[in-house]
Amino acid sequence: MLTNDSTTNGRPAKPTPDFPLYPHRSGRWAKKICGKTRFFGPWRDPEGALARYLAEKDDLESGRARRPKEVNVPVAVADPIATSCPAKPYDEFPLYAHKSGRWAKKIRGATHFFGPWRDPHAALRRYLTEKDDLEAGRKPRRVEPGVTDALTVEQMVFHFLDAKKLNVQSGEMEERTWKEYETYGDRMIRVFGAKTTVESLGPADFKKLRADFQKTHKSLASLKGDIRKSKVFFNWAGPGANGQGLLDRLPRFGDAFKPPSRTALERAREEKGERVFTAKQIRAVLAAAGPRLKAMVLLGVNCGYGNSDCIKLVIGKLDLDHGWANFARTKNAIKRRNPLWPETVEALRAVLEVRRPPNDPQYVSRVFITKFGDPYRPVNLSRELGNAMVRAGMGRDEVDFYDLRRTCASIGVQVRDDDAVRTIMGHKRPSGDMLGVYNRLQVSDDRLRAVADHIHGWLFKDAAVQSPESGDGQQAAPSEQAG
């Protein structure tokens, strides 16, 4: 950053705050002594100018008749054949003095020039204008003179995040979702360049953004989400009834920024395999889990709760005396009514008995609080589940917590009551399903219990059947797979 001693007309800053000389417009270091301006050396040699000033200052300040003879020092002009390069105006100056007489910087393996030695601050301004494009590997694009209202990538991101902050404050958007959008915005600024105008973006730019996404994401499904969430910024800023009108037209995204096709997604899902737990795996995890994780695992397979559902579950939504949970799905706020198994009720009671008050009063209604008094985060839940899976003899990445929800749905649909499963899972009917539009009656509790009892029987039937040694003459059922 420029210091307070820097000017806007190309003069250098003082080497130190207490430097006694100032940069005169003639290209020399100067000081006014006894009403007269004295010169001591060129800008490029502040040390020499200081040495001369210290040697002569006593004579000059005493006003003696015999004064040091003025030395006609030439103005500091960039000289391509100069044998010595000037020093940087200040230590943090990002450019270096190239022997060609220009300020330069090496970017992506190539040397770029920004202006002559005599005007370091003009060179700095040009560097700051062009650096984003150069670092992104493209030719600098300059806004035409007079066009001062062109929306830049940085402005679009900041306007979007500022607007969505109101949604967070009103409860319409989760803080976690806002931070996710912030991450996407930072990524676009890095790839496109902060000062790049949005309307100048084209297919080649979005191809680079997709390539950047593919460096960090492993699945086509996550890539589809990256593309969709990135386009939210442009649709918000664009024209149309739902846009803000900050853009007259949307940029051309090109073929490379189309989301993966449904066929490609199905093929990737098939290659990845079924993401469900077996009953044996769930029982092993329950045996290895602590009280809080055990309750959350049971909620996952009993009620189809995902990570966020467990983390944000509030005490007031539980009716443990009658064995029901009435907690809307956090993702879409759809109402749910879930019958709780006796094992789930017992696990939740055990959690509430030892639950410590949260450090932050705003989480006082949360069911799950860590042993340190903090609210659970997705990383806490993932780490605890991974550790339990390792103790149970499974691989840490074999399945994840959300696969409990998939398991709940996969086993629940075997009852052949889709409306009951939707009520348990918090799913919407397809938009074109008119039967769902006209049906205004809620699913009965008996139908919900039928689904929950079926999943319970699938999970615990091996554990409930006694061995032949117990005297009941029953044989243990073979191990089963989900679905």
Look up the domain containing 34 and give its range. Answer: 1-76
- Looking up tokens 């890095």 gives 190
Same domain for 464 and 357? Answer: yes
Dig out the tokens for 4 from the structure. 């307070």
- Residue 281 pLDDT: 93
pLDDT band at 55 (very low <50, low <70, confident <90, very high): confident
Domain membership of residue 479 (yes or no) is no
Same domain for 325 and 383? Answer: yes
Question: Strand (E) positions, 73-169?
Answer: 96-97, 102-107, 110-116
Q: What is the pTM (predicted TM-score) of this model? A: 0.55
Final residue in a domain of this structure, among 272, 307, 331: 272
364 to each of 295, 349, 454, how far by Cα in Å? 19, 17, 34
pLDDT at position 476 over 70: no
Same domain for 258 and 382? Answer: no
Final residue in a domain of this structure, among 233, 252, 272: 272
Same domain for 233 and 321? Answer: no
In degrees, rounded to 5, the angle at the alpha carbon of residue 134 between the alpha carbons of residues 247 and 92 is 110
Q: Which residue has the higher pLDDT, 157 or 144?
A: 157
Dig out the tokens for 220 from the structure. 């086509």
- Residue 218 pLDDT: 66
Same domain for 252 and 288? Answer: no
Read off the pLDDT of residues 416-470 as tens digits, 9 standing for 90 and up.
999 999 999 998 776 556 555 555 568 999 999 999 999 999 999 866 543 333 3
The whole-number average pLDDT for the span 107-114 is 90
Q: Which residues lie across from 33 on neighbouring strands? A: 36
What does residue 209 show for φ and ψ, rounded to 5 degrees?
Answer: -65, -40
Domain membership of residue 103 (yes or no) is no
The whole-number average pLDDT for the span 55-61 is 83
Same domain for 290 and 428? Answer: yes
Quote the DSSP letter at residue 200: G
CB 189 within 8 A of CB 206: no
- Residue 380 pLDDT: 87
pLDDT at position 69 over 80: no
Domain membership of residue 133 (yes or no) is no
Domain membership of residue 223 (yes or no) is yes
pLDDT at position 318 over 90: yes
Same domain for 212 and 300? Answer: no
Q: How is the beta sheet containing 96-97 ordered, strand by strand?
A: 96-97, 102-107, 110-116
Same domain for 185 and 241? Answer: yes
Question: Strand (E) positions, 34-158?
Answer: 36-42, 96-97, 102-107, 110-116
Q: In the chain, how many domains are there?
A: 3
311 to each of 84, 327, 329, how far by Cα in Å? 65, 12, 12
Q: Which residue has the higher pLDDT, 33 or 407?
A: 407
- Cα 293 from Cα 282, distance rounded (Å): 12
Same domain for 252 and 303? Answer: no
> What is the crossing angle of helices 291-303 and 279-288, to 10°?
160
Read off the pLDDT of residues 387-403 as tens digits, 9 standing for 90 and up.
999 999 998 877 889 99
Read off the pLDDT of residues 87-106 as tens digits, 9 standing for 90 and up.
888 777 899 999 888 899 99
Domain membership of residue 101 (yes or no) is no
Same domain for 294 and 364? Answer: yes
- Cα 159 from Cα 245, distance rounded (Å): 12
pLDDT at position 474 over 80: no
CATH number of the domain where residue 355 is located: 1.10.443.10
Same domain for 439 and 293? Answer: yes
Q: Which residue has the higher pLDDT, 56 or 184?
A: 184
Own/partner pairs, 245-252, CB within 8 angstroms, 24+ separation: 246/151, 246/156, 246/159, 247/151, 247/198, 247/199, 248/199, 249/199, 251/198, 251/199, 251/200, 251/201, 251/202, 251/205, 251/206, 252/202, 252/203
- Looking up tokens 């931070």 gives 179
CB 450 within 8 A of CB 420: yes
Domain membership of residue 370 (yes or no) is yes
Final residue in a domain of this structure, among 76, 92, 112: 76
Domain membership of residue 236 (yes or no) is yes
Candidate from 163-167, 285-289, 340-344 with smallest mean pLDDT: 163-167
- Looking up tokens 């705003």 gives 362
Domain membership of residue 127 (yes or no) is no
HSE, side-chain direction, 13 A CA sphere, residue 180: 12
Q: Enumerate the H helices of 289-444 as residue ranges.
A: 291-303, 307-312, 342-354, 378-391, 402-412, 418-425, 434-438
- Looking up tokens 């989760």 gives 174
Read off the pLDDT of residues 241-270 as tens digits, 9 standing for 90 and up.
788 888 888 999 999 899 888 888 778 777
pLDDT at position 315 over 90: yes
The continuous run of DSSP H or E covering 338 comes out as: strand 338-339
pLDDT at position 325 over 50: yes
Same domain for 240 and 319? Answer: no
